Structure 1
Amino acid sequence: MAAAALIAAAAIAVAGCGGTPPPPASPPPSEDCPLPDAGFDCDFQRRIAAVQDYLTSRPGTTGIVLHDQQTGAVWRNDHAGDPTWTASTIKLAMVVDLFTRDHAGEITLTDDDRGLIRSMLHSSNDHAADTLWHRYSGDDHTTFNERFSAYGMTSLVPQKGYTDVFPYWGFQKCTPEDLDRLIHYVLTDLPEADRSYILGEMREVAQNQQWGVWGAGAAAAPGNKNGWSDEDGGWVMNSVGVVGPGERYTLAEMNNLRGEGGYDAGRETVTHVAKLLFAGRF
């Protein structure tokens, strides 16, 4: 009994050493997220902020739409609604329309047509686009343009005064928001076989297309359709495509250099934007 009492007393004494128990640990400081309303995680918010900082030092203006297809989060910068020359990005809309009309029985694509379609996607071949435009735009050349809005190109406007043919694929303007809706249509509305074909071609583009969204890096499995041209007012360098497993992210970029730079400067801008957003995320 005496031994038990001593043990209990010792236990009480030990328990009492040190005074009051320490306060509960403080919660970790909250993350410094620069754009909490953007809908993206904190790392992405920092990347978006880095893009905004980067663009302040680049020539011209760059419209951007970043879209998380899984969560629905979208970031549009201040130039996402700027009308800009489409250059060859409109070839993606042409492919979507040709496949859609073929499935509806309105046209029958030949092996030659399909070869031209691949050439447009793979190396942005202008001759292929010319051939398909004249072959399938109708006697008044309006058939494509009458249908483009159904694929999300609701702000697209053909531009007069540049060629005898009007409208013509090579002289049209749209916004980055149009391209965002177009790539979303590819991912969500096309039949699986057409979608898989287009994405496969976008991920295996020729060397002259490996910039813009391609800057996300090989680990991000990017695929893109680019466009570039030197119209009145200066160069435009555009890129639209998919990034990440399951094409989770889409990115649309339209760089209007406005005479402040050329091909190389524009290519560097849109490629580095994709790198800032995605490098190391996968």
Structure 2
Amino acid sequence: MDRPDHVTEPGTRRRRRARGPLAATLAGLLGVVVLGAATFAARVPPPPPAASLILYPPTAAPSTSPPPCTTEGGWPCEWAPRFHAAAELVARSPGTLGLMLVDRATGARFTAGATGERIWTGSTIKLALTVYALDAARTGSQPLTPDGRGDLAAMLHTSDDAAASRTWQRYGATAMLATFRDTYGMAGLTMSGANGDWGALTATPGDLAALMSYALDHTHPDDRAWIVAAMRDVGDVQHWGMWSAGPGSGVKNGWLENPYGGASHWCVSTVGFTGDGERYVIAAMYQMSEGRDSLDLGARTLSDLAAVLFAHPTPAPVAPRPT
């Protein structure tokens, strides 16, 4: 029995084939789309490596610290206004005033005023007498008795004149001066009085600074420690001058009323140290003018000098009193 072409048997699927121009066109378009997508994806460049994203190296942040600088003579910048204030004070003080400051760590020095003029040393020479006696005991040339040690302590603590006179005679009086000049560096030290006494000596601020430096640099460590402790623990009669440089300062002051230029004038001087390790040495000497002089004026002037050099307020809080 013949069957029509469009009839299929149960359970069979009829296979159809795309025929004609429409089927061909659709197939071509699909091929183009797929090909185009593949082509577009191939043209996207890969991401660059991370390092290539940094075009320029980073730069450091600008510094906010001021550039380092020094004043003339090798002193750090903070000293410049202090030196200016000290020089102004010296310039407006009537009479003859000289100042020397030494940095023992660097050797730098600052001077102001009449540093080349010799002025009466007064009791500052008692420091030289003390150093001489201690050195003599160390070398064995002359033992230091308990009484002698007591005189040294009295000279430094209350500036005892009687103790100084005994020490002066005990160690040969003017025979010590050669050692003061040649060993302690007091090249300008001069016996300017007719009586040949310890109170008749003149020197420059540089001579006193050299003496203080010798005591700190060249005496036996035990003697150095004793001197430093004694100069830090002076009686209130010496609480002026280098004392005003601040805590930890040590001082030996001198003061006297003497004839000068045909009239009597007050003369004051101070020598000492301050700073860590006694780094700074200062010496100042002041011969005041006739009619414009007093212990109070001189002591306050030297105290203010020490205060401005070490950035303390002025007028310095001192109360000089005569002995």
Alignment of 1:125-144 (within 5 A): 125-137=160-172, 141-144=173-176
- Determine whether 1:111 maps to 2:142: no
Q: How many pairs are equivalent? A: 261
Aligned pair partner of 1:229 in 256, 259, 263: 256
Aligned residues of 1:85 and 1:172 also touching (Cα < 8 A): yes
Distance 1:227 1:151 in 2: 19
SS at 2:107 equivalent: coil
- Determine whether 1:171 maps to 2:204: no
Alignment of 1:113-262 (within 5 A): 113-137=148-172, 141-149=173-181, 150-161=183-194, 163=195, 167-218=196-247, 221-233=248-260, 234-259=265-290, 260-262=292-294
Note the C-alpha offset of 1:135: 2.1
SS at 1:153 equivalent: coil
Q: Which has the larger radius of gyration?
A: 2
Aligned residues of 1:157 and 1:174 also touching (Cα < 8 A): yes
Q: What's the CA shift string for 1:106-147, capped at 9, x where partnerless?
A: 21111001001100000100010011112221xxx4222132
Determine the structure 2 residue equivalent to 1:90.
Answer: 125
> Which one scores higher on RCO, CA 8 angstroms, separation ≥ 6?
1
Note the C-alpha offset of 1:76: 1.7
Q: Percent identity?
A: 36
In structure 2, do the counterparts of structure 1 residues 211 and 102 end up closer, same or farther at CA, with 3 Å as the change threshold? same
Distance 2:232 2:169 in 1: 28
SS at 1:265 equivalent: helix
Note the C-alpha offset of 1:78: 3.5
Q: Which runs of 5+ in 1 are unaligned?
A: 9-14, 16-23
Aligned residues of 2:99 and 2:111 also touching (Cα < 8 A): yes
Distance 1:175 1:262 in 2: 21
Note the C-alpha offset of 1:216: 1.1
Determine the structure 1 residue equivalent to 2:103.
Answer: 68
Distance 1:29 1:127 in 2: 55
Structure 2 counterpart of 1:133, one-letter code: W
Aligned residues of 1:121 and 1:225 also touching (Cα < 8 A): yes
Determine the structure 2 residue equivalent to 1:269.
Answer: 301
Q: What's the CA shift string for 1:223-250, capped at 9, x where partnerless?
A: 0111011111211111100101110111
Note the C-alpha offset of 1:46: 1.2
Note the C-alpha offset of 1:32: 9.2
SS at 2:285 equivalent: strand
Distance 1:226 1:158 in 2: 19
Aligned residues of 1:88 and 1:227 also touching (Cα < 8 A): yes
Note the C-alpha offset of 1:58: 2.0
In structure 2, do the counterparts of structure 1 residues 279 and 28 end up closer, same or farther at CA, with 3 Å as the change threshold? closer
Aligned residues of 1:38 and 1:45 also touching (Cα < 8 A): no
Aligned residues of 2:190 and 2:203 also touching (Cα < 8 A): yes
Aligned residues of 1:217 and 1:279 also touching (Cα < 8 A): no
